[in-house]
Structure 1
Amino acid sequence: MKQTLNIGMAGAGLSCAVIARLLAEAGHRVQLFDRRSHVAGNCHTERDGETGVMVHTYGPHIFHTDDDEVWDFVNRYQRFMPYVNRVKATTGGRVYSLPINLHTINQFFGRTFNPAEARAFIEAQADTSITAPQSFEEQALRFIGRPLYEAFFRGYTRKQWEVDPARLPAAILKRLPVRFNYDDNYFAHKHQGMPEHGYTAMVERILDHPGIAVTLNAELSPSAVGDYDHVFWSGPMDGFFGYDQGRLRYRTLDFQKFSGQGDLQGCAVMNYTDEAVPYTRITEHKHFSPWEQHAGSVCYREFSRACGPDDIPYYPVHLTEGDDLVRAYQARAQAQPNVTFVGRLGTYRYMDMDVTIREALNAARAFLARRQA
């Protein structure tokens, strides 16, 4: 006879919601705890009371993936509508399109290059003395050259991370492409879209199973791990250990809301790359749901700063050196019996939503396979 397990979960965001669904469908009982008053974590969406616009409360989340199974999974719980993220950037008093593409290059340098000419021009700008880029700055100088780096990345990166780009790993910039055509789609994945009724409605449907119970405005204490057959922890990894070796570094975000009638900036995301501008970007949320019509509009200015003990952690800070504390906590986490650390906070890694869901599916299946074995 198959044993029904009691599973505890810290967090009701994407990671634990997906794992909970698979485990509940396998016949286990799952109890999720979340300190907030809603599910979906930082993906939480809700209607603005004044305008009716669907707002991404903790900043915009655009779904994009090449993973067919993940795409099919999310569409089981919410219909995803077509959405293409076309980001703009204001630098030096002018507006350009991101990621850097042929239009950006021609506009910035006042030229009319074709793709081959633009590629040769950018290669001439690059610092070819850098053969193995180790930092964000070296990666930029090697592949796009100083003028584009300083216009679009240096100031923005210093505001976002409050760290010199020479101390950030090159992998951060590797996620941002340079295109030698006029394609201004920020992402290149074959599946891109937005949930028709928001991410929170999607996560609520994922959690809608008789084997799943959710307790909001409450936390699962590490001391309660022994009350369950197994625990999945998507909270801060260092928080599980009471921060006894010190706190891991995160960046948090502050939002400054403003609203009005009509179209306030003409696009969903406008980056402000000049370091003298205190915010990193302005997002206009009606544009994230282009199938809806709203007379009013809601915008948010985003300000990045170091995360304090009472702040919401958004981005783990990895440097080119000095990650010994991260490795120490990771080793302790891996050694914990009957606890699996998952998600961005639980593993101290930046992950897009599709990767979060993929890893959650894999974690749930691995757990079930171990129990069956």
Structure 2
Amino acid sequence: MEILLVGAGLSGAVIGRRLAEAGHRCRIIDARDHVGGNCFTERDADTGVMVHVYGPHIFHTDDAEVWEYVNGFSDFMPFQNRVKSTTQGAVYSLPVNLLTINQFFGKTMRPDEARAFIAAQADTSIADPQNFEEQALRLVGPALYEAFFKGYTEKQWGCSPTELPASILKRLPLRFNYDDNYFFHRFQGMPTDGYTPMIAAILDHPNITVELGTAYAPDMAGAADHVFWSGPLDGFFGYDLGRLGYRTLDFERFTHDGDYQGCAVMNYGDRDVPWTRITEHKHFSPWESPPGSVCYREYSRACGPDDIPYYPIRLVEEKALLGDYVARAEKTRGVTFVGRLGTYRYLDMDVTIREALDTADLFLDRAAGGGDMPAFAR
């Protein structure tokens, strides 16, 4: 078959590779001038630092098949994300762990003592937390909430924590030991030469053609037997029902001679500091030792029509509009919507790859059996 894949990021590359290996001809287009989507990395010419151009991407997964898959296209080096937070005039370890608790409260508690101490701090009158703030107060109490979560969340999402669902905070761990590894997955690492060569290797197949700087036009679908769309779901329909809400990021790039902050990620919890965090990219490749450094200050704001969407908002208004677009997509034949933008969900890289592999396998099964491919394969 002739397959058109819109987007040369992880979803398009992985689906395209799987279908190409099965003998289908895959045309992959991308409006940008590079492959990799927001995972794009490039080496800074002046400092030699491997820069995550659209913000840092750290690979972590419990999915052994996905880990084996990415290692088939790139060597990976071990990397654990150990985040710090500057708040109220001091630096602390994140996620909130026993060191954070002891340092913040000036204590030397053992795990069981800290657990009882935090339980006493927690607002137990909140039996069923209905929003982010209530969940935080129920989980850690007002002091830790004010220091590490409230200001950061207001900056990240541009609204009061009372407007956000409690489920957001449930993903953040609270630890009563000294483990400061931000993630808890079995497999964690970084591609040795960055993500761009890895994705380019996935795309390197004789049945795949890649056209960069090429925007999708509706008449392209007519030349294809099937389309996989990894662009914005609402964008496929010309945003004619309205735009789904996203947060975007602005990066203030600066360089430093030496080591600027001593870690890869430094959060800033105070509301009066306008940026959410500073990332120092040399620390994402600790096996390298460039003398200079490239850093990004990150600022979060509402996503406009010409901005790059990063985080789907998925509040009440967006969910209603999403339902309308999903219903419309399910009536559209010959197109499957994939990836973070195509399904309007925040997906980690490993989940994106898992869903891409499963989507490709479903397509091959349906093609062999003569069945229709659904609009959403998940």
The one-letter code of the counterpart of 1:342 is V
Cα distance in 1, alignment partners of residues 316 and 266 from structure 2: 29
Tell me, yes or no, if the aligned pair for 2:30 and 2:213 is still in contact at 8 Å.
yes
Match of 1:67 among 32, 57, 63: 63
Deviation at 1:326, TM superposition (A): 1.2
Cα distance in 1, alignment partners of residues 130 and 315 from structure 2: 11
Query: 2:28 aligned with 1:32, yes or no?
Result: yes
Runs of 5+ unmatched residues, structure 2 = 370-378
* 1:168 corresponds to: 164
Q: Residues 220-245 of structure 1: CA distance to partner in whole angstroms, max 9, x if unpaired?
A: 22343222100000000000000001
The one-letter code of the counterpart of 2:313 is V
Match of 1:313 among 309, 313, 330: 309
SS at match of 1:64: strand
Q: 1:175 to 1:234 in 2, by over 3 A?
A: same
Q: How does 1:259-274 map to 2 (within 5 A)?
A: 259-274=255-270
The one-letter code of the counterpart of 1:42 is N
TM-score relative to the length of structure 2:
0.96
Tell me, yes or no, if the aligned pair for 1:168 and 1:318 is still in contact at 8 Å.
no
Deviation at 1:305, TM superposition (A): 0.6
* 2:373 corresponds to: none
* 2:221 corresponds to: 225
Runs of 5+ unmatched residues, structure 1 = none
Cα distance in 1, alignment partners of residues 328 and 64 from structure 2: 34
SS at match of 1:77: coil
Query: 2:278 aligned with 1:282, yes or no?
Result: yes
SS at match of 1:304: strand
Match of 2:185 among 186, 189, 192: 189
Q: Residues 193-252 of structure 1: CA distance to partner in whole angstroms, max 9, x if unpaired?
A: 000000010000000000000000011223432221000000000000000010010111
Deviation at 1:53, TM superposition (A): 0.3
Question: What is the root-mean-square deviation of aligned Cα atoms in Å?
Answer: 1.0
Deviation at 1:143, TM superposition (A): 1.0
Q: How does 1:1-373 map to 2 (within 5 A)?
A: 5-319=1-315, 323-373=319-369
The one-letter code of the counterpart of 1:204 is A
Tell me, yes or no, if the aligned pair for 2:62 and 2:187 is still in contact at 8 Å.
yes
Q: Residues 18-76 of structure 1: CA distance to partner in whole angstroms, max 9, x if unpaired?
A: 00000000000000110111000000000001101000000000000000000000000
The one-letter code of the counterpart of 1:55 is V
Q: 1:282 to 1:226 in 2, by over 3 A?
A: same
**Residues paired across the two proteins, number:** 369
Deviation at 1:132, TM superposition (A): 2.5
Tell me, yes or no, if the aligned pair for 1:122 and 1:144 is still in contact at 8 Å.
yes
TM-score relative to the length of structure 1:
0.97
The one-letter code of the counterpart of 2:125 is S
